[in-house]
Structure 1
Amino acid sequence: MSNQALALILERAKDDEDKASLALNQARVERENYYIQLQQIEQYRLDYCRQLSERGQQGLTASSYGHLQKFLNQLDETLTKQKQAASQFDFQVEQCSEHWHEMRKKRRSIEWLLEKKQTERQQFLDRQEQKMMDEFATLQFARRMSIKR
């Protein structure tokens, strides 16, 4: 495969790695936002329970208490659903991370191959140069010997 073709493949691999990196960063941001939202809901629930307790000390009707308790149950259900979604966000980050590592490995392999081909090319050129120098030295020696005769 030519160096030019490998260079094009390398550019494509770099683009793929960049895209994978962006996807990984996006997945991390989404997971972080999820945890912030979860924390806000938990904090809201705590604040609501504190207010419910304060209002309960002042006296509540059974009807009011029932409505407040129903809302608290809804908050608990929301928290349960939110906590179940955590594994999905973690899984997405894990998948994106694995994909990014694969793209990085692919890019590095192509770079290694290019470097190997360049090293081989340089070694070939060095051998060619050495061969020409040896031939030149042999011709000079042969001329000197023919002049001395």
Structure 2
Amino acid sequence: MANSKVKRFEMLVELAQDELDKAQETFIAVRQQLESSQEQLDSLQDYHTNHLSKIHNEKEVTTAQLQTTQAFIDNVNKAILSQKDQITQLTHVLEKAQETWIEKRARHQSLKNIHLKLKRDERVKLDKQEQKMLDELASQQFFYSKSSE
């Protein structure tokens, strides 16, 4: 019976490891998405800054150019705001993924510790049984050798 309990816990540890692996993969994927989004935001902000400085450096700007540039800058600003919103959302998703990963890691470690304790207890029990059998065998051999004398 105890051996089947050890086997059941072994299965639970394996399942917990699978869940932990999936949680870790999710965490890594979301973190990479967040890093990519941050890089895109940085690029948009650099582009915005460079474009504005280019316009400021021009000596003569027509009204049409100014209107076109303003419309373009507005679009870039919208893209920057959208990117910031995406980063905020991904940050929340990343925090949740990290919490899930921490929970799965703690569960896996707990189950692993219980499994190891069960295995140790089973080993101690088997060692005691083996020692008892050896003691009984030695005792029987002793009495057998005494009775045959």
Number of matched pairs: 146
> How far apart, in 2, do the equivalents of 1:93 and 1:70 lie?
34
Q: In the TM superposition, what are the counterparts of 1:16-95 in structure 2 within 5 Å? A: 16-55=19-58, 57=59, 59-95=60-96
Q: Which consecutive unaligned segments of at least 5 residues does structure 2 have?
A: none
Aligned-residue RMSD, C-alpha: 2.1
Which runs of 5 or more structure 1 residues have no equivalent in the other structure? none
| TM-score of the aligned structures, taking structure 1 as reference length | 0.84
My pick for the range that moved more, 127-136 or 30-39, is 127-136
Percent of aligned pairs with the same amino acid: 25
Deviations 1:21-79 (A, max 9, x none): 11111101100110010011011101111221122x1x112232122122212222321
Q: Runs ≥4 in structure 1, deviation > 4 angstroms?
A: 140-148
Work out the CA distance in 2 between the residues paired with 1:114 and 1:47: 61
